[in-house]
Each structure stands twice: as C-alpha cells, then as structure tokens.
Structure 1
Amino acid sequence: MPKIQSFSAPWLQEPNPGHKLFEQSEENSRLSASIAYSKSASQGPKRTIAQRGNEVFVANGREIRWGDIAYLKDALEAEQSRTRASSHLNGDSSDSSFEVYDEETSHVLQGPGYRVIKTPVASEIRQLVMSPNKDQLAVLTSHTVHICMLPDTSLLTSGETAPFKPKFWTLGPTTHVTSKSAVVSALWHPLGVSGSCLVTVTEDAVVREWELSAIDRWSFDTPTLEVDLRKLADGTSVDQDFAASTSTNKTFSPDDFDMKVASATFASRNSNGWAPMTLWVAMAEGDVYALCPLLPRRWSPPPTLIPSLSVSVARKSEALDADSEATQDEKLLAKQQLEWMADLDNQEPKLLEGPYGEVTEVYSRPSRPGSIPRLQGPFEFAVAPEDEQDDEIELKDIFVIGAKHNTAELMMGEDFELYVDDDDKASLSISVVCLLSTSGQVKICLDVDGVEAQWLPPRNAATWGFPGRDIPSLLVFHTFDTLKPAEMTSDSWPVFSEDVTSRYAFYVTHAAGITYVSLEPWVSLLESELQSDSDAGADFRFDLLVKGQRAEVDRIYTPQHAQNVLAAATAFKTSDLGHFVLSATHNDPVIMFFDTPESEFMSDREETPGPAEDGETPEPLTVWEPRPLFHPSEVLSRPSTLPSWLDNLRTSRKRPLMQQEVRLSVATLEIFTEGHRLVSSEVFDLNNAVAELFRKCEALTFELKQQITKVYEVNQRIETISGEGESRSTKEQNISEEMLVRNRVDVMKVRQENLSRRVDNLRKRLGQVSTRELSDKEKAWAEEVRTLASSILGDEEEEEDTTTASINTAAQSLKRFDEVQTLRDALFQQAQQLQGTDTVDGTSSPMPVMKIPSDIRKQKVAQVMSLLDRETALVEAVKSRLEKLSID
C-alpha cells in the first residue's frame, strides 16, 4: 500500500484557475442538488477523467475542460514568486495572469493553462476513453458515442482563452441513438492498427467493431463487424447471420434479463496467448462470457504473439494426435486452430511506419474457420461463496489481468533468451478476472483452464462433427467487500481503475469512497506453487495458499457528502508531479499524492535513527498526518429557489391573490403550504451545512492543539540532541552555541581516539592469532639457542626454585672462571719456556732461533687473540651476571 503524502494540490483548488477544470457548469448550477443528482444521474459508469501525459481532460455536463497540470503548477509557483517580489518592491500585485518561462524556446508563455472544449453532444457526458496513441478521445453519453480528434498540446497552450472546437465525429449516427439501447462500454482494441479500432458494447448485448480513419468518413458510420451475443449464444453454424436486428418491434425474451450487459473489457496488449484478443463480457445478473478471437479486419500483433500462438497450437495438436483418449470435439477444436494459424502464416504482413519511426507489422483477420468466434459461457464459478440473495444486487464492472509471456516455451532450443521485463517475472501464468457488484463486493477469479479460440462448426456438421458445449469455469480465489452495509445503495455503479505502478493493483471507485486493492501479496507465491513439482496434494497446497494470503484492501478516500458521485479514479505518474490519483465530485477535485519508491527509500535512510544507549530504537515521531480537504457544503452558496417560485406565482392563475390582502381560503392555504415546504427544506439544508461547518471548526481546534503538542515534543528532542536543553536548564552558565558545538566536537574526537585505539588492539590480537608455523631452519636455530642457554644458565626445567637456580648458575660460572684463569697461567708458562731455557749455573742461555714462516705466525696470533677476546667476553658476561644477582 503506497503511503499518502497529501490530499491537496493548491494549483487545483479555489480560487486558482486550475479549479475551473472541475467547477460545476452553468447548466448544472441552475438545477438543485436533489434534481441534478437524482437516481438518473447514477445510470451508467462515470469515467469523466482522461489523461495524456501531464494533460487532463475532465467532462463536466456537456463540456470538456482541458488542463496541463504541470503547467498550472509551474504557473502558480511563478505567480507566487512574482507576488512576493512585487510586495518587497511595494508594487501592484493585483494582476492574476500567469507567466511561465519556457527553457526550450527561451521566452515567457502566457495563458491560463486550461481550455474549454466545445462538444456536439446533447446530454451529459458519462465516459471519456483515451486511445492507445493518445490522439483520439471517445466521448460517451448514455446512448451516443463521439470521437474527438485531439489537437497538439501547443495549440492548447497558445494563450487563447476562447473555447476550443476540435474536429468531432459522430460514431454510428443511426446506430447509437437515444431511441435504441444504451452504450455501456467503449473499448479501444489492444491489437488495432495505430490504436484506431473501437469496440462498443450496448446494453442489449450487441458488440460492434469500428475501424476508424480520419480520411474515411464512412468508417464512422458503419461498423466493420457486428455481433449479437443473444443470437450467437443459440447459434449452431458459423455461416449464420449474427448481426443485430434492425426491426423496432421487439417481443419478450428471457435473454432480455439474463443477457443485460453491465460491462466489457480486454486484457492488456502485452498479455500472453489469446488474452489480447479475448473480449470479456459481464452481465448484470452475474453471468460472465468470453468472445475469442475477436479481431479487427486489420490488426497489428506484438512481436512475440504469433510465434507463441504457433508453438502452443502445434504442441497441442501433436499431443492430441498422440493421445488415444482424446475426444472428437478436442480434435475438431485443434483442427480449427491449425487452420486459423495456417491462414495467418500464409500472409505476408504489411509494414506500417509509425509517427516515431517505429515499424509495425499489419495482418489481415483470417477468414477461416470464420470471422465471428463462438460465445464461451456462461462461466461456472468454482469454489464460490453463496451469492447475495438481494434481487437489487447486480454485477457492474469487470477487470481482466492477462497472463504473462511464456518466454521459456517460446525460446526452447534457441541459443539466446528474450528480454523479460521485471513485471513479467513477478506475474502469473494464468489470467485473473475481477468482478465488481453493486454491493461493493469484489470477486477475484482465476482462469485456470485458459480461454482459447473457438468457432462454431460449418454448415456440413456431419463432416466436421459438432463440438460439445462443456461449461467453462472460473476458480474464485478471493472475495472481499469494499463497502459497509450502511453504504450500500441499489442505484450505485462502482467501477474499476488501473494503477500505473503495478499490473496487479487497481482502484475501486464508488459513491462511498475510493479503495486501493493490491493482489501482489499472493501472486508470486501462487506462481511458485503453479510451477512447482511438489509431492503434496494440489487441494491441500491450494487450500493452504488461499488461507495464508489475502489481497491488500485499503480505503484511501471517503467523501464528506454521501450524495456526491465520484468520478472513476485516474492514476498518474510523471516526473514533474510524481505518483498521484485524481478523481472529482460534481464541483471539486479529489487528489491524493503517494510516496514514490525512491522517496520512501531515501526517507527511510534519513529518518531511521541510530541505536539508542539502552539498545532500543525509537520510532520517528509523526508530526502531522495527511487528511482530505474540507469543502463547505454547496448549500451555503446555492441560490434560493424562493424568488423564482414567487415569479412563477405572479404569472400563474393565482396572480390575483398576490395583489390583495391575505384572506382565509383554500388557494391561500395552498400557497402558504407550498411556500412553507420550500422554505423549510432550504432552512433544513442550511442548518445541516452550518452544523457541519461548526463541527469541523471544533475539530480543527482540537487538531491544532495536537499539532502544537507534537511540534513541542519534536522541539524538545532537537534541543536534547543539540545540547540546548541542558544549557537552558542551567541558567547560570551562559554558553553560546559556538561553545556547545566545540564541546560536542571535542567529545567526538575523544570517542574517535578511543575507537582507533580499540581497532589497533584488535588488529594486534588478530595478528597474534593468525601466526604461521616456523620453518625447519628457524626450529634448528631455536634449539641451538636453548642448548646454549642451558649450558650457560642451566636447565630451568629441573630447578625447583628461582633463587636456588640463580645461586647454582653463579657457582658454575665462578668455577668456569677459575678454570679459565688456570689455563691462562699454564699458557703463559709454556710461552716463557719456549722463549728460553735455564743453564746449570743459573744463567739463561738463548734458545736457538727457529725460523717460523710469517703467515703461520700471523694465523696463530690471530687464533690466540680471538680466544682471548672470547674468554674476555665470557668473563664480562659472568661478571655482569654476578652483579645482577648481588643487586637482587
């Protein structure tokens, strides 16, 4: 469910010029509310808003108002900025003309941003249906249809204020007239060439196809295909005449009640298989029929439609040929479909270049087996709840969501895959049929079997056989109500409206409000169940799925006055204005702006607070909640009917009584009674309107107090976060804002240093934990060091006490020191003996001189010196060790 941001658009509210798009026309303003909006006003659906990009077309009475919403918004903002600038300069700001700067043409555009389009209709406009190419507009009254050739936007924004008169064509000037049946639906065929094929369905179950061409005026006079569904339901051969009867003498028939059409619809153009060429017809009594394939004489399919149909038809035919249990009816149907596809495959499509350089393939409607398909239905509703017993409850509208493209089956055996839109990935492989009744009940049905093309047999039924009339069925998946029991009225006509964000979301508009419905919660789950090969029973799995998921149903708008009839909600999504839904009462617009997914994502990131100190995450405080605008009752501005009654009285046969004194008589009593009735009704309405205004003012004061309280709470939170609350509570310390900021920065610096220190410690610990193993050389060197340490300091593992070990180590060192000194003395003595020998008389005689090579002498001296240095180092080490022990 999208979140509602606002219920107001200033550029569409009074007194701004954009409000003139929805103002009540002068013709309707002359009538009182009790007459203008009686039961006759609710006959037929009310779809009086159509869109073309940022442009909106609104039907009001017999007029059509055009307006560019983005233009009106920019114009109002420019006017407000100009007014503010002029107020600063003490200038005159009374001029209310709009000026908008156009960046493309670099000049100022002038104009009101809206125009009145004059129409040739003779009664109130009930429906506006925009063509797929946005170049034609079907204008429907209760019985007539007119086609408006829409002009380019530049012609409407030229600055002219006079009513615009575009080219209008009357569709079927002898067919759709007030003396014949009413028109309930006008649909642009999704496969029409350049979106120029219009299908009209009348209340007497007659379907007509009009292939329109602006250069051929006869295309507006005669339909290219006409089918009477009542005749087709009883048809036995494809060669029969199923056109509507031109006779004005009508006899009684049960079909007049059972086949009274309430609405009709097509699936979207991008649907799979036979869905784009299937016309679904809903009868007021509750029956549903399908007509497939219903094609214009010239039609343009999407690129993947014909290949997918060829694959499915060929595969079905092969399966039936291999199946020995297949019935003759199934084989006949497969043969007819193959014949239809063969006629289509033998055609060479014509290439038609579109307005934007697009090339479209145009095919002719296959003539075999026939141009008029068989009528399938009435459908049986499987697993359906009990129908409502009230005879006044009727079916009013139907909405069909086509199945997604089966690209896997189409591209089987190919080396590449087709691009699949994200919408198709999350879509169902079966069609969804939604039905809406007068009571506001919505039935969500699944076309599990799938509607396929069917035709009646030819006249030689003995050769072809006759297909059995198996009753098709729709599986009722979900049923819910959009109206409360107190809001139900027998004369209401609720309608469906598409949403622009999802193909499985739509709006239900009725007199009691607008309801948003989304089927997305169970669509993906159902598709996964349909594609899975689980061993669980289908009944068990389907029952679990139905009980576990429900559609999103939410009332997004409720009108203030129950007597106002709302126009069908129209969804917009533009880069200039965002996502919103537009509807209208008879005098005011109804608009609701929604959050876009991007704004919701950014708001979630910005508004989500960080973790609190106690571990809890407080929810953001909602300062205000959007609510619908309040419009005072029109009774307060409606002129009184008493003056016109007095004028009529002065010209009536009771005129003499108005010129004489009041006398007691029957005529005087009648005048007073009628005057009292008029005055009492107006006073009663005025009292109710004033009471409603008073209650709204009281509620406004209460809401204002709530707003002030919430703003105060938000202010307290801001002061607490910024530190201003503590400074205000301690008045003795007059700390400036700069000091508060500096203190906060210092605190953050200390916190950053602590975090950095913790990160360094963790990095060191991780380095210690993740040490690698020692190599063989490192292990050998460590063993050598331990051996040397044990030889010098002793074996620490065998020592029991540290002090004892130290004393033993010192004793061993002294012992080795004594040994070294003894060896030194012995070496000195040997050296002296070598230098000379003693004689008998005690005198020394020189030793004979021995010639030793100098290099040997140098080597020996070097060895001695190294030994001395080593012994000196050992002595110094022992000495320092002893000093340390003595200090300890």
Structure 2
Amino acid sequence: MPKVISYTPPWLSRPSPGASLFASTTRKDPASLKNPKDAKYDGPSRSLARRGNEVFTVVDNQIRWSNLTRLKDEWQQHERSKDAQKASADGQVPYRTLVVPVYEQIRQIIPSPNGAFLAIVADHTVFIAVLPDSSHLSSAESSPIRVKTYQLGPTTHVIPESPVVSALWHPLGAYSNLGGCLVTVTEDAAVRVWELDRNNHWSFDRPTLAVDLRKLVDGTSSDQDFAPSGFGRNRGFSADYIDMEVASARFGGVGSEKEDAWAAMTLWIAMKPGDLYALCPLLPSKWRAPSAAIPSLSAAIIPKMSALEEDPLDYDDQLTACRQQYEWLAEIDNQEPLQIIPGSETEPESEILARPANPSAIPRLQGPFRVDMGDEVDDLDLCDILVVAAKADTEALMLGEDDELALDSGDDKVSATVIYLSSRSGRVYICLELEGVEGQWLPKAKKNVFQTPISEGSDLLLVEALNTVSKQRQSAETWPVFSPDAHSRYSCFVTTSHSVVFISLASWIQRLEAELQSDDTAGSGFRLQILCEGNAATLEPIIQVDDGSAAGTQSFHLPAALVYHDYDLGYLLLTSHASNSSAAVLEKPDFFPSFSLQSDAEPSGSPTIPPHRPPYQVPSVLYSDSPLEFFVDNQVPHRYRSSLKEPVLLSPATLDLVAAAHRILSAHTNALERAASDLFRRCERLQGELREQLGQISDVADRIKGVSSEIGADGERKEGSRSSAVLDKRLQAAKYKQTQLVQRYEALRNKVLKSGGRPLSEKEESWIAEVETLSESFDKERKEGDNQRISERLEDVKQIADALLSEAKSAAARIPATQEPNTPASPTSAQPRVPQRLQRAKIADAMKMVERESAVIESITTRLARLNAIV
C-alpha cells in the first residue's frame, strides 16, 4: 500500500509557471450553464495522457503538451538562483498547444504504444494525430503547432451514429512512424479494426475488420455476414439492443512473453447491464508475434488434442474446437515471417506474421460471463473494465526440464485472469476467471441442416466488492475509470468524480497462487473458500477534491489519473480539475534504487511525515478575469456599447442591460463568496487544530517536567521521589506480554506453513529416497569393512557416465542430419514445427544434466576418498 509523501508538488502549484499547464485562458461567462452536449455525455473522461515523462492534457478543448521533467528542473533552477520573478516576467509558456480540427468536445486522448500517434475521441468522431518528436516540441518556440490529423472513418464515426466508448491500440499490432492498429468499440456493440498506414489514405476511411456483436451473438456459421449496418439504415428493434449496450472494452494482455499467449488476442467487452463477452483471437491482418507465443500455443494445443482424440465421443465439442485451433496454428507455423523485429533491452525479438484465413478472421463471441451476485438480480450498470492476464505456463512449454525458466514468470503472477469492474454507484467488483479464454470460431455452413446459436454462459468468481464513493458523493454523472499501477500488475487506481483511490490485490494473489499450484488437493477447496471470504483487496484514498475548489457551482468529473514511475519524477499520481493540477507523490516501491531525491523544501536528515490532507488550492475564480469584460465584448449589442459611456437614461433597453449585467455579476460574486467562505472555514479549522496541538504539546511538556524533576544531574533518582518499583513492574509486564505475543505469532505461523505448505514433488521425493538408500549402503559397507566393493561400484558409475556423455554428444551431432521431411519439426509438415532455438535449448539442457551428473559423481568420489582415509 503506497503512502502519500506529499501532495501537489510546488513546481505544479501556483505561482510556478508549471501551474499554467492546466489553467484555462479563455474568458467564460460564469452565469452560463453547461453546454447541453456536456450534460448529455455519459462516458469515460480520459483527457490526460502520457508518453514517457511527457503529458498531454485537454484544456478549453485544446490539446496541450509539456515535459514534466523539464518543468521540475526549470523550477529547481529558478529556486536555486532566486530568479523566479524574472522567469515569470519573461512570459514564457511552459507548454505547447497542438492545433487539431476537432470541434466536438474531446473526451479521450490515447497515445499509441510507440508514441507516434494520438487517438482523439470526441462524442461521435475519432481523429488520429501524428505527434511530433519530443525534441521538436521541446524547442524554445512557444507558438501553437498544427499537427497532421486524419479523421478515422468519416462515413463510419459520424454525429448521428452511436458514440464511441473505447478506442484501444492493439497490443499485437505492427507499429512504426507510418502506421499502427487501432480498435474502436461503439455503444451499439460494433467492433472495428483499423490498420493505419500514412501512405494509404484508404486505411483511415475503411476498417479492415468490422463485427456487429449483436449479430455475432446469434450467429451459427462463419459464412454469415456480421458486418455492422451502414449509415442511415433502419436496424429495427431487438432485445439485444438493451442487454448489449457497451460500457467499455479492454484487451486481456499487453503482448508480453510472461503472460498467457491468448491474452493479448482477447478483447473483453463489458455491457452496461453487467454481462461480459470475449472475442478471441481478434487480430489484424499483420500482427506481431512474441518469440514465446507460438511455442507456448503449440505446447498447449497439441497435447490437449491428443488427449481428446483418445475418447472423441465424450468430448465432441471440445475436440472440434481444438481441431480448429490446431488448423489455425498450423497455418501460422507454415508461413514465413513477413518481418523480424530485433530485440532491445526491454523487449525480446518478435516476428510480424499474417493473420490466418482459416477457420475465419472473425472469432466466435464467447460468453456471456456474469458476476455471481447471489440474491441480487439488479443490473450492475457497469462503467469500465480492467483485465490482468494470467501468467504463461512455462512448465508446460519446457516439459518440466528447466526449473529455472519456470520461475521467470515471477512470484507475483497468478495462473488465472483477474477482472476489475466498476459501476455507476462507485462500487468496484474484483472477479476471477479460472478456466481461461482460448480461441474459438463458428463452424462452416452445412446444407439442409438447421442450427441454433449456442451461447454458453459462465459465472465469474466474485472475490470482493468495494465502495470507492461515499453515499454523499454518489451522483448520476459518476463514471469510475481504472488506471493501471506501474508497480504491481494486481494494483490499480480508480478515478471517480471527486477522488482517486488505490486498490491492491498483491498480498492476496501470492497466497492464492500457492493454493492453485499445490499438488496436494486435500482441503484445497476449504482453503480457497477461506481465502475468498476474507479481505482480499486493500483500498486507500489517495486524492480527495472538494466542491469548493471548483469554479462556480458546476459539477465536474476528474479525468483518469496518470501514474509516473521514474527516477526524475519519482512515484507520481497526476490528475486535474478546475484549471488546477491535483497530484500526489507516493512512497517509492522497494525495487527502486537505495538513493532518493531530496526535495528542496526538506532537509536531508529530517524524517518525512505524511500529510493529513491535501494542501489548499486557490479556486480559479479568485484569479480569473472579470466577467463584465466578457459581458461587454460578447453580449452587449454594438448599438448599445456607446451608451455605456454616456449618462444613464431610464429606458426599457437600459433596464434589460442592467438586468443582464446583474445576472453576470451576481453569479461571479456568488462564486467569490463561496471561495472566500471556504477559505474562512479552513482558517477557523486550522486555528482549532493549532489550539488542540498546543494543548497536547503542553501536556507532554508537563509530563516531561514531572519525570525530569525526579532525576538528578547524575542520572540517579532523587531521594523522596516516587519509587521506581512501580515503573519496573510495568516495564516487566510489558516485556512479558511482548514475549507472549511473539510466541503466539510464531506458533500460528508454523501451523499455517504446515497446513497450507506446498508438498514435495515426485522428483524431490525420489531424490530423498535415493540419498537415504545410498547413505544406508555406505554405513553398512563401512561397518563390514568391504572397501573393495565400494571402489568397484565407483568404477562402474564412471564408465556409465562416460558412456552417457558420448551418447549425448553423438545424438547432438546426428539431429540435423537425420531429420526427415515429414517429421513434425519439418517446415513442410502439417504439424507445427519446433523452432531451432528451442531445439538448441533442449540440447543445452541435456548437456547441463550430464554435467550435473558428472559433478555428483566427482563429489561422491571425493567423499569415498575421505571415507577410505578415515578407515
């Protein structure tokens, strides 16, 4: 659980120049109501985005860019040189404005994984902006930059159509400075895959793959037309239109080698009533395959199909699905890579492959997955979804031959999919999907055969439900969104309308994985039930925003928080509201370097005391421009402006002008009164807290004086003072109680380890039995004095070891030459081939095993020599 070290840093607060990054520069009418489009908007707010240490924000429907590291460094330099006033007088703007032709209200901005593009999502339209390089944006110029922008699907995403709820960059897309892959999901359950190419403008006009989930859920054959209906067509009415209203979508993985190979191909779609669906595999025509993805799929599909073929009658449906997976994998394995992407320090080597044409490019819609709420049957009214992929099964990939590779997936990962769901009421549901989602397709059409759609629903295991919003804060405009944590995969931040809270499953996940991987199933059901009944997740409020800090009385919603995890910035959580930044500097995780950055305001030797509340943020109404200037420039007709400088004449026009000005001024003064009253209440509360603190300090001082008055200058107790027997008795009682608590803790700890500990594997049990047998034989023969028999056995073991070593070397030399064209490893075989690097790894593992046996024999020889010397 991260602790808050400090709130909004000074380089993002007024009067530093960095505070102007989120400040509005447009003069607005404080008496005017919100835009009707804003009032009708019902969706996520993601107006903040990051690219490394850079930040993109939407202010006054304009996109601003800045580098947080640069802002912090410049502020520190100004503080050291005491030249902050001069810097502010220069009038340099610490941000650049990106000019984009978007006239609707911008709701979401999503940078591409390589940082070359920025997806801009409005209410109904989507734009793709080509982002300039960081060095170009960091120049001394402060003028706005007009970036190259493409409208995505001008005839697809239009104003009368269904709004876009999610825009996701595909984790397995092929990205470069010229193109990428974006997936858009609309509220009417239409999923579109856009493979963007700047050299081909048609790629921005039409998607390469479009699926209507409301048609796909009732589909019976892969030959049907599942494309969404065209613009302006009458779609009729169906019950699915209500049950399949999309709230949010999220991919199940990030394309890492350490996660399940199907996860990054799976698109999870959350419907507002509470159902979840999955599309697997959803791939573009050209996709990036991690180096371990194809071998991992081969190691999972081929043994499964072999086991199902032994009894095909009982598992007919599963065998059909497995054969489809095998056919899909065989087509991938028989093709040559279109491109090989070299590895780097952070990412291994990967290949660009073509999407298989068989069984179909459109997968079957799996689901619905429902949250088991018990007796509650009401709709959940979901808002957002976050999926954490299950870890890769490296033991099945390496067939248990390399225990070290089995530990590469990490101890903080679990072999189950974790799903976070948020609802309009502010509740967060944490669920587990234990069976796993694999690739499935609809069958081919058969003539004269009537088929009914098969929709197999399943329940998710509900781990815990948490309330992130108090009853006083619950409103119809709350739309909680998730922000993944940079420290742990099973931790996240939830941004609500007025707060940001932290949720973590890290400690519970480790205990869960120990039970899931345990070979001893006796009592595992009871232990899993106890684990799920306890408190699995921890919740901690990080940022709280008061209504008094907002401009006027208009409601607002915090944008999704950004998480920075860097040496320069530390562990920073950032969001914004009402022209102000709202941030929190969190305690650095354990894996950070031992050195730490000291703040300029804190001495290096002073302890860090966590703050009790965020610092006071000056409301924007106190430093905003006068509304009368806005009134005169925009609302007073030109024919009446000359009369403002003349004596006041009693007339109906003058009365209307005065009444309109009074409405403007009264709203502004009301906002000023609210801001001033909030400041007054804070000052009164601060005075009361100071009095309380002074009283506590006075009591402590009196107690210290009472204790020190009984002790002389030599450190001995004065004569006539209270006896020390009472104090010694209390000290002994406290020590005894502490000892008892430690003993109870150790007893409970040992009991838990014995009951829930992992049993020995078969390899470990056989090794122990072999060591005991060898030890007994040595002891017996030493007592009998038969040293000659031991030496003969040693010679036999050496001969066997030499023979095994020679056979292994000869087998390694014969493998490339004895390979037949129809073997499974052949490229022309119908079965998936085994990569050359995997074969070399197998041979290297065998050599290591032989070397280990040789080392064991040498150690036994040394021990026997010592025994002979002793005898």
Q: TM-score, normalised by structure 2?
A: 0.72
For residues 241 and 370 of structure 1, the distance between their equivalents in structure 2, rounded to whole angstroms, comes to 12
SS of 2:390's partner is: coil
Q: Unpaired runs of 5+ in structure 2?
A: 597-605, 716-871
Deviation at 1:62, TM superposition (A): 2.4
SS of 1:378's partner is: strand
Quick one: which of 227, 239, 246 aligns to 1:261?
A: 246
Change (3 A) 1:408 1:636: same
Quick one: which of 394, 416, 425 aligns to 2:381?
A: 394
For residues 330 and 598 of structure 1, the distance between their equivalents in structure 2, rounded to whole angstroms, comes to 45
Do residues 287 (structure 1) and 275 (structure 2) align?
A: yes
1:317-351 per-residue CA deviation (whole Å, 9 max, x = no partner) reads: 11211235524222211121111111111111133
Q: Would you say the 8 A contact 1:60–1:125 is kept in 2?
A: no
Change (3 A) 1:173 1:715: farther
Equivalences for 1:850-869 in 2 at 5 Å?
none
Change (3 A) 1:352 1:668: same
SS of 1:700's partner is: helix
For residues 141 and 71 of structure 2, the distance between their equivalents in structure 1, rounded to whole angstroms, comes to 15
Deviation at 1:505, TM superposition (A): 0.3
SS of 1:556's partner is: strand
Do residues 168 (structure 1) and 167 (structure 2) align?
A: no
2:789 maps to what in 1?
A: none
Equivalences for 1:15-30 in 2 at 5 Å?
15-26=15-26, 29-30=28-29
Deviation at 1:256, TM superposition (A): 2.5
For residues 585 and 536 of structure 2, the distance between their equivalents in structure 1, rounded to whole angstroms, comes to 25
Deviation at 1:449, TM superposition (A): 1.8
For residues 193 and 455 of structure 2, the distance between their equivalents in structure 1, rounded to whole angstroms, comes to 26
1:171-194 per-residue CA deviation (whole Å, 9 max, x = no partner) reads: 212211212211110101111113
1:374 maps to what in 2?
A: 364
Quick one: which of 570, 573, 576 aligns to 2:568?
A: 576
Q: Report the more deviating stretch, 57-66 or 680-689.
A: 680-689
For residues 619 and 582 of structure 2, the distance between their equivalents in structure 1, rounded to whole angstroms, comes to 15
For residues 222 and 356 of structure 2, the distance between their equivalents in structure 1, rounded to whole angstroms, comes to 14
Deviation at 1:50, TM superposition (A): 1.2
Bigger Rg, which one = 1
1:530 maps to what in 2?
A: 516
Q: Report the more deviating stretch, 529-538 or 300-309.
A: 529-538
For residues 564 and 721 of structure 1, the distance between their equivalents in structure 2, rounded to whole angstroms, comes to 55
Task: Give the AA of the match of 1:521.
Answer: S
For residues 385 and 427 of structure 1, the distance between their equivalents in structure 2, rounded to whole angstroms, comes to 32
SS of 2:405's partner is: coil
Deviation at 1:96, TM superposition (A): 3.9
1:289-337 per-residue CA deviation (whole Å, 9 max, x = no partner) reads: 1111100101112111111111111122112112355242222111211
SS of 2:171's partner is: coil
Task: Give the AA of the match of 2:364.
Answer: R
Quick one: which of 140, 147, 164 aligns to 2:121?
A: 140
Change (3 A) 1:144 1:662: same
1:477 maps to what in 2?
A: 463
Q: Would you say the 8 A contact 1:6–1:593 is kept in 2?
A: yes
Q: Would you say the 8 A contact 1:623–1:710 is kept in 2?
A: no
Q: Would you say the 8 A contact 1:24–1:60 is kept in 2?
A: yes
1:242 maps to what in 2?
A: 226
Task: Give the AA of the match of 2:132.
Answer: P
Q: Would you say the 8 A contact 2:576–2:582 is kept in 1?
A: yes
1:369-413 per-residue CA deviation (whole Å, 9 max, x = no partner) reads: 100011112223335461447xxx621111100000111111005
For residues 711 and 116 of structure 1, the distance between their equivalents in structure 2, rounded to whole angstroms, comes to 52
For residues 249 and 220 of structure 1, the distance between their equivalents in structure 2, rounded to whole angstroms, comes to 22
1:333 maps to what in 2?
A: 321
2:582 maps to what in 1?
A: 590
2:675 maps to what in 1?
A: 689
2:171 maps to what in 1?
A: 190
For residues 415 and 543 of structure 1, the distance between their equivalents in structure 2, rounded to whole angstroms, comes to 33
Change (3 A) 1:715 1:351: farther
Q: Unpaired runs of 5+ in structure 1?
A: 87-92, 99-109, 605-619, 730-888
For residues 718 and 113 of structure 1, the distance between their equivalents in structure 2, rounded to whole angstroms, comes to 52
For residues 202 and 312 of structure 1, the distance between their equivalents in structure 2, rounded to whole angstroms, comes to 34
Change (3 A) 1:464 1:578: farther
SS of 1:379's partner is: strand
Quick one: which of 262, 268, 273 aligns to 2:261?
A: 273
For residues 635 and 89 of structure 2, the distance between their equivalents in structure 1, rounded to whole angstroms, comes to 42
Task: Give the AA of the match of 2:239.
Answer: P
For residues 721 and 152 of structure 1, the distance between their equivalents in structure 2, rounded to whole angstroms, comes to 67
1:82 maps to what in 2?
A: 81
Task: Give the AA of the match of 1:212.
Answer: L
Deviation at 1:600, TM superposition (A): 9.7
Q: Would you say the 8 A contact 2:482–2:560 is kept in 1?
A: yes
Deviation at 1:527, TM superposition (A): 1.2
Change (3 A) 1:326 1:25: farther
1:450-497 per-residue CA deviation (whole Å, 9 max, x = no partner) reads: 111111111127799888432233222211211112211112211111
Change (3 A) 1:656 1:214: closer
1:197-234 per-residue CA deviation (whole Å, 9 max, x = no partner) reads: 11011111111111112322222121111111111112
Q: Would you say the 8 A contact 2:214–2:244 is kept in 1?
A: yes
Quick one: which of 299, 304, 317 aligns to 2:287?
A: 299
Matched length: 689
1:850 maps to what in 2?
A: none
Deviation at 1:698, TM superposition (A): 2.0
For residues 383 and 579 of structure 1, the distance between their equivalents in structure 2, rounded to whole angstroms, comes to 36
Equivalences for 1:773-852 in 2 at 5 Å?
none
Q: Would you say the 8 A contact 1:131–1:138 is kept in 2?
A: yes
For residues 594 and 438 of structure 2, the distance between their equivalents in structure 1, rounded to whole angstroms, comes to 46
Q: Would you say the 8 A contact 2:250–2:385 is kept in 1?
A: yes
Task: Give the AA of the match of 1:263.
Answer: S
Deviation at 1:125, TM superposition (A): 1.6
SS of 1:280's partner is: strand
Change (3 A) 1:65 1:660: closer
SS of 1:35's partner is: coil
Equivalences for 1:346-745 in 2 at 5 Å?
346-353=334-341, 359-382=349-372, 384=374, 386-388=376-378, 394-412=381-399, 414=401, 417-418=404-405, 420-421=407-408, 424-460=410-446, 468-537=454-523, 539-561=525-547, 563-598=555-590, 625-638=611-624, 648=635, 681-703=667-689
SS of 1:200's partner is: strand
Q: Would you say the 8 A contact 1:329–1:468 is kept in 2?
A: no
Task: Give the AA of the match of 1:484.
Answer: S
For residues 660 and 92 of structure 2, the distance between their equivalents in structure 1, rounded to whole angstroms, comes to 49
SS of 1:490's partner is: coil
Q: Report the more deviating stretch, 338-347 or 534-543.
A: 534-543
* RMSD over equivalenced CA pairs, Å: 4.0
Q: Would you say the 8 A contact 2:20–2:94 is kept in 1?
A: no
SS of 1:209's partner is: strand
The alignment-based identity, stated in percent, is 40
Do residues 211 (structure 1) and 201 (structure 2) align?
A: no
2:2 maps to what in 1?
A: 2
Deviation at 1:516, TM superposition (A): 0.4
Q: Report the more deviating stretch, 527-536 or 217-226.
A: 527-536
Task: Give the AA of the match of 2:43.
Answer: G
For residues 227 and 520 of structure 1, the distance between their equivalents in structure 2, rounded to whole angstroms, comes to 36
Change (3 A) 1:533 1:600: same
Q: Would you say the 8 A contact 2:487–2:589 is kept in 1?
A: no
For residues 598 and 713 of structure 1, the distance between their equivalents in structure 2, rounded to whole angstroms, comes to 38
Q: Would you say the 8 A contact 1:111–1:159 is kept in 2?
A: no
2:45 maps to what in 1?
A: 46
Q: Would you say the 8 A contact 1:383–1:475 is kept in 2?
A: no
Change (3 A) 1:65 1:711: farther
For residues 673 and 350 of structure 1, the distance between their equivalents in structure 2, rounded to whole angstroms, comes to 71
Deviation at 1:35, TM superposition (A): 1.8
1:313 maps to what in 2?
A: 301
Change (3 A) 1:352 1:727: farther
Quick one: which of 124, 127, 145 aligns to 2:108?
A: 127
